[in-house]
Amino acid sequence: MGFLYGELKKAKEEIRDGLKNVESNYRPIFEIIDEKSKGRLDSPLHMAAYVLNPYYFFNGSTSSIYTNEVSNGFCTFTDILYPDDLEKQNLFVNIEFGKYLNKEGPFRRPLALKGCEKNDEFYNPVTWWTNYGSDTPNLQTIAKRILSLTASSSGCERNWSTFEGIHTKKKNRLDTNRLNNLVYVQFNSRLMDKRKWGTDKKVDILLANDASNAQGWIVDDGDDEVEPGSGIEDGEVRDLEDDFQSDNDAAEENVEFESDDDVVFQLDEYVVEDEALEILS
């Protein structure tokens, strides 16, 4: 999040330099970039992330970084962050951000400036704010939260899957406008069908505590209980226990006992009855 707006500006500068600063050459490209990024990569949140990233803010002139567009975006972000609270807005912008803007306190340290000089594998803006933002606790907290955000394309996955269903080998000759219209219609029709299905269809809700009772009709042999941690059903465990006979048990059956009357008793002549041991005569 903290690098999107800055890298986009850097890419535009490289395009301008590559086209020899001829406005007629790079202007059409900039218009395309601005159109695609409008409302997506230039929101107040992106502006705040850009200005709170010391890699950009401390490595260039303040006038080139903190432009009117960025300043307005950061103020809008503050209004959203602290709605109708002038005290917190004043503390956040005029006091704490003012220290960051003027490089006061820990922000002026040579080590702080050195730590954001290069955007390499050792640079982490969140760690930088942890080390040098102690004098501005509110700004430090917000900066760490914003700069910890990651970019994700998960919100586009549904649209892409719809696009793949339409753009097949037999339909790959569709022009761009017609293809976009088909994707738009099919995607929204699916949303309408899903909403209609949810409102019209009556569904019995299966509670979590009823899930085990319903196992029998969800899957085959679902009523069989399974021994925890083993994956073996109770019936199989009982059969194994009945058939199981250790060598020690077999040996104990042939043990002989001698008495004072010189009579030898076999172990199988002992029976247990009412928890008392009796000798059969």
Q: How many CB atoms lie within 10 A of CB 92?
A: 20
Query: How many whole angstroms separate alpha carbon 264 and alpha carbon 258?
Result: 5
Spatial distance between the Cα atoms of 79 and 89, rounded to a whole number of angstroms: 7
pLDDT band at residue 124, thresholds of 50, 70 and 90?
very high
Q: What is the 3-state secondary structure (H, E, C) of the chain?
A: CCCHHHHHHHHHHHHHHHCCCCHHHHHHHHHHHHHHHCCCCCCHHHHHHHHCCHHHHCCCCHHHHCCHHHHHHHHHHHHHHCCCCHHHHHHHHHHHHHHHHCCCHHHHCHHHHHHCCCCCCCCCHHHHHHHHCCCCHHHHHHHHHHHCCCCCCHHHHHHHHHHHHHCCHHHCCCCHHHHHHHHHHHHHHHHHHHHHHHHHCCCCCCCHHHCCCCHHHHCCCCCCCECCCCCCEHHHHHHHHHHCCCHHHHHHHCCEEECCCCCEEEHHHEEEECCEEEECC
Percent of the chain predicted with pLDDT > 90: 33
For residues 262 and 17, the model is more confident at: 17
Give the predicted TM-score (pTM) of the model: 0.56
Top mean-pLDDT range of 110-124, 174-188, 223-237: 110-124
pLDDT band, very low/low/confident/very high, at 15 (cuts 50, 70, 90): very high
pLDDT over 70 (residue 227): no
Q: How many CB atoms lie within 10 A of CB 136?
A: 24
Q: What is the pLDDT of residue 182?
A: 80
For residue 257, which of 280, 274, 236 has the smallest C-alpha distance?
280
- ∠ at Cα 253 (267, 272), nearest 5°? 50
Per-residue confidence at 271, pLDDT binned at 50, 70, 90? Answer: very low
* Better pLDDT: 148 or 247: 148
Check residues 214 and 117 and name the one with the higher pLDDT. Answer: 117
Contact 279, 270 (CB under 8 A): yes
pLDDT of residue 199: 65
**Single-letter amino acid, residue 196:** K
Say what the pLDDT of residue 203 is: 54
Q: Are 179 and 187 in contact (CB under 8 A)?
A: no
| 47 or 280: which leads in pLDDT | 47
Q: Give the pLDDT of residue 189.
A: 85
Does the pLDDT value for residue 53 go beyond 90? yes
**Span 61-100, pLDDT tens digits:** 677 788 888 999 999 999 999 998 999 999 999 999 999 9
